[in-house]
Copies of this chain bind each other. A is one copy, B any other.
Amino acid sequence: LKKVAVVGTGHTKFGKRNDVTIRELAFEAIKEAFEDCGVTPSDVGFTVVANYGVFSEDICPAPYILEYAGLNPKGAMRVEAACASGSAAIHVAYWAVQSGLTDLALAVGVEKMFQVDTPTAVELLGRAGDILWEFIPFGTTFPGYYAMIATDHMNKYGTTEEQLAMVAVKNHKYGAMNPLAQLQREITVEDALKSRVIAWPLKLYDCCLISDGAAAVILASEDKAKKITDTPIWILGLGSATDTGYLARREDISTLRSAVLASKQAYKMAGIEPKDVDVAEVHDCFTIAEIIAYEDLGFCNKGEGGKLIEEEQTYIGGKIPVNVDGGLKSKGHPIGASGVAMAAEITKQLRGEAGKRQVPDAEIGLVHNVGAAGQFCYVTIYGRNY
């Protein structure tokens, strides 16, 4: 198998961006990625745009992003895998390089969610759920789905509301240290516990944010990577899986089967075990999702995710630092951008460029990116060495 590396990254500030169009927002990230590795748009052979797309009048944004960024006339497409769209884009860009189509591919994720009001955004996200059997008949939205998942986990494993709050506290702590984060402020367990209930047991601080933002990564073949950077970050393993859209049909909702399968596939390809991972970005759309991710990825045994955060093992200095950029919870979650932003953060960590949020000597990093409530999961493993 040919080797493929991340050679450049870009990451806008996440937050409310009424000052830019989608194409301008995407360009901010693309420009930074180009400057990061000194390549020019004409070097790029293929572009993959990740965008959920329903919040905006720009329902077909790829051509306009390419035009604005000077990427024409090279090939392109948009990909969508709900909240895992960003990772799906990286997987396609990887294949484009791996198959020899090009020696340099760009994956760019972008979303402008503030173009609609919050109830509309929650509804449009909810439509990634099963519109036939759950969304329309019951009005289930994602806080509702993850509340059911949380109560099941609490019932089976004794996970507590305090443990959920501890995930939020950790992610806000690191978000406060990240100038790109949407909410740069620390919170306490008490703040989280007394915030208003959204869908019990999930409260306001258990839920990720509605965000505008963009991120970009440039992938290169081995030869090209070695020419343009001294710090290529290699893609060691990829995995992806799906699960039923209709949650009632799943045997167990205290786990996301797609995450278990996608991570097994990625670990196998990378030839590593969970204990080899030095730093991880996991999909904390809700605090319970991060706890379940610890278990699904093998960072702890099933049912012990609550204990892992309680023991602060997912802080820098712990067993496996997780979401030390603030996560979706505090950094923000502009749907199409999130998976690409996770890859950008892991790249910085493995390069040793994460500043005061640096995980010391991080050599292997993992990105876990979930679409909807596990309908999709993409896992990607990155390494400083191949």
Contacts and interface: CB of A to CB of B under 8 A. Distances in A.
Interface of A: 1, 21, 23, 46, 52-54, 57-60, 62-64, 66-67, 71-82, 85, 88, 91-92, 94-96, 98-101, 124, 127-128, 130-132, 136, 238-246, 249, 257-258, 261-262, 371-372, 375-376, 378
B242 A72 contact: yes
Residue in A73, A132, A240, A262 with the greatest tally of chain B CB atoms within 10 Å: A73
B376 A63 contact: yes
Contacts of A77: 79-81, 85, 88, 91-92, 240, 376
A375 B246 CA distance: 36
Contacts of A60: 52, 80, 82, 127-128, 372, 375
Contacts of A246: 67
18 contacts: A46-B240, A57-B127, A59-B127, A60-B80, A60-B375, A63-B128, A63-B242, A63-B245, A72-B244, A74-B241, A75-B239, A75-B262, A76-B376, A77-B81, A77-B376, A78-B80, A94-B99, A95-B101
B46 A1 contact: no
Classify the interface of chain A: helix, strand, loop or mixed: mixed
Nearest to A1: B100
Given A72-B243, A74-B241, A241-B75, A59 B128 contact: yes
Given A62-B81, A64-B132, A73 B261 contact: yes
Given A242-B74, A244-B63, A132 B95 contact: no
Contacts of A62: 80-81, 242, 375-376
B245 A130 contact: no
Nearest to A373: B63
Contacts of A378: 75
